[in-house]
């Protein structure tokens, strides 16, 4: 749905939305859009005796002055350009006063809420109590609602904070129990609909592991093949021909299905080896990674990854883990973020092997704990770049928890004011229509103070140089059943399997650095790296006491890779560069490789015979559908992980389109090695 149609469709709720957005910045209030078309079903009031935690965030002092100062920091014509605040300067000029905090704390105490945490700069206070007491303190009833088939807690009306405290509070977290989801994505086994299983390293001759050992086929786009599928007894038969994806299913290592890359292969493809030869590997910089839960075995897993890929080991001198919101209590890697954590640490270390890594873990994936983890990284000025591979659909936040929009935008703006780049992945669901019934974008990536990282599909030549890239988006069609492989008539379209998130925000006004782009709203993404799990990166993770290797993608791969590249660029610059996005849009053409739509030279076509009926021609478009706005794509024959056969398409990202210049799948494109670093340093 177009932005204009979206605004028309939801005009009736704009008044309510204005009330819900307690303290969104002026840039957001002038551009806010509307909630998703699927209205949550109210199931009844929340249990009044249930204990919950809520966090009251306080208004900055002189917010207009702070916003103007940050604007000048990113205006080349201003004398304040790239003159970052220190934390002490922020505290003295803009942080809430102790008196403000005292009023809010008293308000909470008056409503029987027990204070459990607050920060030294008086920006937030967390309290705990019953739902009944929270409702009185926030002035809103909490309900149980059904959102996307899941039961959640959500406020039933506009929070109204009574008394003197009302003028000091900018946002209230915890009224809903929505959580962020990570963006790690493994290739799907089309036979089961589940992720392709990882392989125990013990079965792959771990004793022989050395640098750049290949476990997975790196030849993702092979030459043309023809396959004929027959039905016993003289039934239908079909012949399909086209490029072949990945290896044969009966190949052992180093050609395990599906396709995937190790670190040296990606280094060469993206021109990173030339940086390393010049001593540019992130030395002296720290990449901050924010995750939830973490992994109990992250250090040993990352060091196995390092051993395989010829990288330096992670030790106490270059790797630290922080728990700012308390222990994660997730023994045995059961909370679902172990793969995410491994992906973030291993691939940031791969791209910037000389950089330190600080892993900051929220106790869980609630908005509050991940936001406080980000705040911890900012307050302690751990490093110049913060990598965040998680998010949630913007429309859901607008409808159910607009306070989170306020909090995240404030955090990313604070990071930008101190000279840091807060990078966020844009998600793995394309335009999100299949998830929420409405085209939307991912938040926090949509914040104009965040740098939004999208994704590509990456194909290499036999010497591991870059063959081609296109925007990440996969469609899948089954063309033959299991051995003896009778053809499926007609072919079974399994549809969209995942793709780079992107598009137009319905909340945030277009920032000045996107001034050359169309429209009036923030556009995503800004830049990309490889994210397609069918052309993903090898990852080591331990589960159930087994050390495993598998291929993982998602924008959770591209985000830590770009964050690591930003650390290298910061090393070259010799100074913190601030938010990356404003610098990206003014770089010369050779600094960022523009990713266009690729029309595969050997896209799959077929012909089905059902005598005595005339043959049925299956065009490349038929087999790659649904194409929506896409006209150019790459399609391949794919053997799956069993004896079934499929057509796997690349560059088919829902309604989003890859094209010349900035596009809503890959942004500006992918960093071009030394040219990128040199250009950013010259532009700083």
**Residues 63, 512, 426: CA angle, nearest 5 degrees:** 90
Res 148: pLDDT: 77
Q: pLDDT tens across 280-320, in order?
A: 999 999 999 999 999 999 999 999 999 999 999 999 999 99
Residue 358 lies in a domain: yes
Query: Span 391-403, mean pLDDT?
Result: 92
Count of Cβ atoms closer than 10 Å to residue 616 Cβ? 16
DSSP readout, 583-636? HHTTS-GGGEE-------TT--EEEEE-TTSPPEEE-HHHHH---TT----EEE
Q: Is residue 377 part of a domain?
A: yes
C-beta of residue 335 within 8 angstroms of C-beta of residue 263:
no
Phi, psi of 400 (to 5 degrees): -115, -20
pLDDT, tens digit (0-9, with 9 covering 90-100), for 485-518: 999 999 999 999 999 999 999 999 999 999 999 9
Question: Is pLDDT at 253 greater than 80 in this prediction?
Answer: no
Q: What is the DSSP string of 243-255?
A: EEES--TT--TTS
Q: Give the mean pLDDT of 174-202.
A: 91
- Residue 317 maps to a domain: yes
pLDDT of residue 250: 73
For the cut 50, the answer to whether the pLDDT of residue 21 exceeds it is: no
Residue 580 sits in a domain of what CATH number? 3.40.50.200
| C-alpha dist (Å) from residue 35 to 9, 26, 32, 39, 439 | 10, 19, 10, 9, 11
pLDDT of residue 637 exceeding 60, the answer is yes
Residue 529 — pLDDT band, cuts 50, 70, 90? very high
Asked if the model's pLDDT at residue 350 lies above 90, the reply is: yes
Of 326 and 18, more confident: 326
What is residue 236's DSSP assignment?
Answer: -
| Residue 380, helix vs strand vs coil | coil
- pLDDT at residue 18 greater than cutoff 50: no
Residue 276 and residue 323 in contact, taking contact as beta carbons nearer than 8 Å = no
Q: Name the average pLDDT for the chain.
A: 90
Evaluate the CA torsion angle 651, 652, 658, 663 in order and state its sign. Answer: negative
Sorting pLDDT into bands at 50, 70 and 90, what band is 327? confident
Closest CA to 401 of 147, 656, 676: 147
Percent over 90 (pLDDT), the chain: 79
Task: Give the total number of structural domains in the chain.
Answer: 1
Task: Assess if residue 92 is contained within a domain.
Answer: no
d(CA 150, CA 52): 19
Does residue 123 fall inside a structural domain? no
Domain membership of residue 311 (yes or no) is yes
**Cβ atoms < 10 Å from Cβ of 193:** 9
Whether 22 has a pLDDT exceeding 90, the answer reads no
Q: pLDDT value at position 541?
A: 95
d(CA 77, CA 579): 17
**Range with the largest mean pLDDT of 27-31, 192-196, 423-427:** 423-427
Identify the domain containing residue 383 by its residue range: 188-218+263-472+501-592
Q: Does residue 39 surpass a pLDDT of 60? A: yes
**447: closest CA among 13, 179, 70, 62?**
70
User: Over the stretch 71-93, which tens digit does the pLDDT of each residue have?
Assistant: 999 999 999 999 999 999 999 99
Quick: pLDDT tens for 475-494: 999 999 998 999 999 999 99
Q: Which pTM was predicted?
A: 0.93
pLDDT at residue 201 in the model = 83
The stretch 321-333 carries a mean pLDDT of 82
Using an 8 Å Cβ cutoff, are 551 and 253 in contact?
no
pLDDT of residue 257: 67
What is the rounded average pLDDT of the residues 129-133?
97
Nearest to 561 by CA among 587, 591, 537, 543: 537
Question: What DSSP character marks residue 176?
Answer: S
How many whole angstroms separate alpha carbon 592 and alpha carbon 678?
11
Q: Is residue 280 part of a domain?
A: yes
Q: CA–CA separation, 501 vs 211, rounded Å? A: 33
Within a domain: 135: no
């Amino acid at each position: 749905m177009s932005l204009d149609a979206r605004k028309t469709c939801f005009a009736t709720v704009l008044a309510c939305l204005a009330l819900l957005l307690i303290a969104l910045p002026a840039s957001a209030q002038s551009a806010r859009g509307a909630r998703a078309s699927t209205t949550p079903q109210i199931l009844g009031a929340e249990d009044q005796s249930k204990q919950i935690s809520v966090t009251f965030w306080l208004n900055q002092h002189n917010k207009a002055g702070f916003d103007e100062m940050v604007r000048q920091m990113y205006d080349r014509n201003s004398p304040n350009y790239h003159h970052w605040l220190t934390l002490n300067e922020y505290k003295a000029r803009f942080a809430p006063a102790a008196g403000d905090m005292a009023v809010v704390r008293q308000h909470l105490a008056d409503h029987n809420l027990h204070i459990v945490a607050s920060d030294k700069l008086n920006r937030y206070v967390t309290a705990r109590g019953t739902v009944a007491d929270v409702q009185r303190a926030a002035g809103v009833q909490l309900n149980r609602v059904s959102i996307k088939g899941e039961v959640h807690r959500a406020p039933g009306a506009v929070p109204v904070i009574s008394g003197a405290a009302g003028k000091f509070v900018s946002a209230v977290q915890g009224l809903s129990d929505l959580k962020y989801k990570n963006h790690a994505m493994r290739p799907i086994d089309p036979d089961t609909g589940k992720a392709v299983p990882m392989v125990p390293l013990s079965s792959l001759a771990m004793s022989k592991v050395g640098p750049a050992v290949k476990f997975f086929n790196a030849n993702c786009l092979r030459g043309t093949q023809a396959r004929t599928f027959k039905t016993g007894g003289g039934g239908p038969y079909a012949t399909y021909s086209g490029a072949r994806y990945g290896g044969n299913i009966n190949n052992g290592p180093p050609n395990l299905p599906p396709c995937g890359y190790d670190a040296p292969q990606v280094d060469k493809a993206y021109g990173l080896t030339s940086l390393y030869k010049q001593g540019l590997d992130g030395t002296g910089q720290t990449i901050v990674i924010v995750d939830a839960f973490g992994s109990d075995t992250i250090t040993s897993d990352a060091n196995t990854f390092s051993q395989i890929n010829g990288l330096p080991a992670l030790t106490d001198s270059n790797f630290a883990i922080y728990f700012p919101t308390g222990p994660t209590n997730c023994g045995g890697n059961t909370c679902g973020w172990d793969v995410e954590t491994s992906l973030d640490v291993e691939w940031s270390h791969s791209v910037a092997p000389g950089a330190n890594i600080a892993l900051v873990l929220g106790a869980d994936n609630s908005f509050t704990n991940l936001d406080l983890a980000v705040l911890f990284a900012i307050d302690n000025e751990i490093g110049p770049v913060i990598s965040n591979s998680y998010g949630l659909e913007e429309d859901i936040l607008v409808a159910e928890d607009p306070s989170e929009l306020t909090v995240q935008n404030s955090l990313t703006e604070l990071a930008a004011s101190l000279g840091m780049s807060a990078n966020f992945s844009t998600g793995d669901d394309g335009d999100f229509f299949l998830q929420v019934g409405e085209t939307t974008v991912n938040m926090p990536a949509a914040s104009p103070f965040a740098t939004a990282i999208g994704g590509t599909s990456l194909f290499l030549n036999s010497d591991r140089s870059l063959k081609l890239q296109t925007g990440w988006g996969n469609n899948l069609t089954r063309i033959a059943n299991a051995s003896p492989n009778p053809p499926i008539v007609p072919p079974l379209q399994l549809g969209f399997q995942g793709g780079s998130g992107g598009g137009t925000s319905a909340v945030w006004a277009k920032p000045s650095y996107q001034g050359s782009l169309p429209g009036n709203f923030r556009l995503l993404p800004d830049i990309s790296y490889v994210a397609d799990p069918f052309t993903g990166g090898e990852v080591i993770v331990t589960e159930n006491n087994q050390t495993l290797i598998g291929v993982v993608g998602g924008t959770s791969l591209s985000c830590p890779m770009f964050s690591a590249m930003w650390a290298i660029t910061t090393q070259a610059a010799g100074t913190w560069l601030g938010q990356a996005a404003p610098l990206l849009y003014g770089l010369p053409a050779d600094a960022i490789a523009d990713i266009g739509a690729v029309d595969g030279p050997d896209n799959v076509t077929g012909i089905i015979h059902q005598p005595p009926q005339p043959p049925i021609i299956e065009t490349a478009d038929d087999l790659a559908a649904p194409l929506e706005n896409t006209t150019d794509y790459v399609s391949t024959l794919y053997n799956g992980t069993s004896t079934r056969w499929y057509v796997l398409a690349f560059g088919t990202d829902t309604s989003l389109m890859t094209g010349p210049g900035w596009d809503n799948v890959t942004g500006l494109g992918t960093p071009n090695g030394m040219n990128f670093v040199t250009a950013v340093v010259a532009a700083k």
